[in-house]
Amino acid sequence: MQTSSSRLHRQILLVLAMLSLAPAALAHHSFAMFDATQTLTARAEVKEFQWTSPHAWLELVLSDESGKERSLSLEMNGTSGLREHGWKPGTLKRGDTVTVVYHPMRDGMPAGQLMQITTADGRKLTGQ
């Protein structure tokens, strides 16, 4: 038989556990690191398409006019949201040439939030 003291103790622990998860849930859905006031477009080669949860990622290689390469990592929506917009695990393959539209990172890191992609065959898919 439970005492009212042990029942209260369990309820307090449950509330504390729920409160400790709230900041992580809110932080996960923040897009504050992306600069939504800037929209950049780049032509790139797919290095890797990561069909993962909670968000898919697109790893790209960009080349400037002199041939110098740089990496760009773009965060996408979750896989269930991407499926609704026509994405599949094999939509992109290593070596595919694509044009991406994205919001860059505020801190200048070579990453961003994918907004739209155009594949070599002209298909347009959204990343969010």
Q: Kindly report, residue by residue over 58-68, the tens digit of the pLDDT.
A: 999 999 889 89
- Window from 16-30, 38-52, 88-102, 103-117 with minimum mean pLDDT: 16-30
Domain identity same for 5 and 46: no
Stretch 118-122: mean pLDDT: 95
Indicate whether 47 pLDDT > 50. Answer: yes
Domain identity same for 25 and 86: no
> In whole angstroms, what is the distance from residue 67 CA to residue 65 CA?
5
Domain identity same for 50 and 77: yes
Top pLDDT among 46 and 1 is at 46
Q: What is the pLDDT of residue 4?
A: 65
Top pLDDT among 3 and 55 is at 55
Which CATH number characterizes residue 59's domain?
Answer: 2.40.50.140
Extended strands (E) in the chain: 40-50, 57-63, 69-75, 97-104, 111-118, 124-126
Domain identity same for 72 and 104: yes
Contacts of 19 (CB under 8 A, 6+ apart): none
Domain identity same for 65 and 117: yes
Note whether residue 35 is domain-resident.
no
Q: How many domains would you assign to the chain?
A: 2
Domain identity same for 107 and 52: yes
Domain identity same for 46 and 82: yes
For residue 91, CA distances in Å to 32, 82, 108, 112 come to: 28, 11, 28, 20
Indicate whether 107 pLDDT > 50. Answer: yes
Question: Residue 53 is part of which domain span?
Answer: 40-126
Note whether residue 115 is domain-resident.
yes
Note whether residue 111 is domain-resident.
yes
Q: What is the pLDDT of residue 39?
A: 97
